[in-house]
Amino acid sequence: MSGEVLVTGAGGFIGGHVVRRLVESGQPVIAVDVKPLDSWWQRSAARNVVADLREPTTCARLTRNVRTVYHFAADMGGIAYISENDWRCAATAAITVNMLRACIDDGVGTLLYASSACVYPTSLQGADPVPLSESLVYPEAPEGGYGSEKLFSERLCGYAAASSGLQVRIARLFNVYGPLGSWCDGREKAPAAICRKVAEVALGKSEDVLVWGDGAQLRSFLYIDDCVTGLIALAQAGATGPVNLASDQLVNIGELVEMVSEVAGVKVKARYEEAGPTGVRARIPDIGRARQELGWYPSVPLSEGIRVTYRWIYGQMGHLDAVTCGHH
């Protein structure tokens, strides 16, 4: 099928990596983000466009002659950001409405929507957690405005597909990490934040590492390269329901601090602050559907992904005084 590929949120972490992979495979890509070009985390040899997708006419202009849309544009961040910005995160649904309408009107073939594990009920992620298979979203209890928006937008995608020829694919992403993303601007997630804090110890800027919670919060972390492979496979597959993309390697936050410390070659003292934002107690993914329907399975061990991520963040700190960052 002829036509270009449109990636929204292309100046962000996951969107930027997807654009690069698509460009490297020889596909014509339109990359769009609301941020100025010099604020994009990375730029590839795509048609890079600065535009606000909250404007319906902008979406309609960008989807002409497009065959596939990867939709990542969202106001989001780590647990600190999403717990303090329910309205800003929830309002992202307006962008998805605009994109779906434009895709239907312009005859786009496929839209892949980047959803989140935050759609799952918090009751399933407590002291007695269960593996989160894709059907376990009811009774609804998503995580804050961010999770609510993701679940609502999944439904929007379903309604759009049912009323048109648009094919939708929904990826539920679990804790994606890696280089070329937020690490000190207040939107960073746990792996980047911990890498930065350990690097501050290594550079003599700090004596300990502040960790929110008691360190026992259980998570899985998916390396960006594995995530991109899964997203592209999903966009090209026939799967019509949501698909979890996650690592099945579980680790608690205290163990993650130890892992980063080993990579950095420094001994660190963790200072736990249980009053800080911690998210759910334990998030365990079920990736059986991704294995079965996509033939996809993550291949990068956490230790290797953390090594690459830490080295990138450490290098960034050589160019920027971390004390001036907007991190918490």
Residues annotated as part of the active site? 146
Task: Decide if 242 contacts 293 (C-beta within 8 A).
Answer: no
CA atoms within 13 A on the CB side of 208: 8
- The span from the CA of 240 to the CA of 278, in Å, is 32
* Closest residue by Cα to residue 200 from 35, 296, 46, 322: 322
Q: How far is CA 55 from its chain centroid?
A: 23
b/e string for 189-226 if b means 16 or more Cβ within 10 A?
bbbbbbbbbbbbbbeeebeebebbbebebbbbbbbbbb
Count CB atoms within 10 A of the CB of residue 78.
21
* Helix, strand, coil share (%) of the chain residues, nearest 5: 40, 20, 40
